Amino acid sequence: MRNKEKQIQLAKYRLKQAEDSISEAECLLSGNESPRSIMNRAYYAMFYGVLALIVFEQYYSSKHAGILSYFNKRFIKEGVFPKELGYSINKAFEMRQEGDYREYVELAYEQVEPFIAQAKQFVQAIRDYLEKSVFAHA
């Protein structure tokens, strides 16, 4: 299997992880489960979308902050995606960090629910970009 084929397979796998994370966030919300868990899944949906993108880049980081910094520099500042997408993932990362790691932080449903729609938009934008720029030319 060619390297490009492997990259495309991995990108599609990451997009599937993103879609699964959105579904998980929706299930958690409909079941009135933990807002922290909802935020976690919404953030990871976006993060997996970013991972699908950077499969085709000469970049690697083991840190979320490094990957998000690269995404913002390469895809937001260069105008590949609108600034709103950068804002969405950066805010989701911040809220996920608070919910997962800060003591005594309680996220509310009203805070986290909008991130499900933002995650859907984010992942769809990445899917559209990859379908036009990479998948269609494979």
Q: What is the CATH number of the domain that holds 22?
A: 1.20.120.330
Distance CA 76, CA 54 (A): 13
- Residue 1 pLDDT greater than 70, yes or no: no
User: Which structural domain, as residue segments, surrounds residue 29?
Assistant: 3-137
Provide the pLDDT for residue 64. 96
Q: How many domains does the chain have?
A: 1
Tell me the two tokens of residue 97.
Answer: 């960090």
Long-range contacts for 3-9 (Cβ within 8 Å, ≥24 apart)? 4/138, 5/138, 7/55, 7/56, 8/134, 8/135, 8/138
Q: Check whether 129 has a pLDDT greater than 90.
A: yes
Residue range 47-85, pLDDT digits in tens = 999 999 999 999 999 999 999 999 999 999 999 999 999
Task: Please give the DSSP secondary-structure letter assigned to residue 58.
Answer: S
3-state helix, strand, coil in the chain (%, to 5): 80, 0, 20
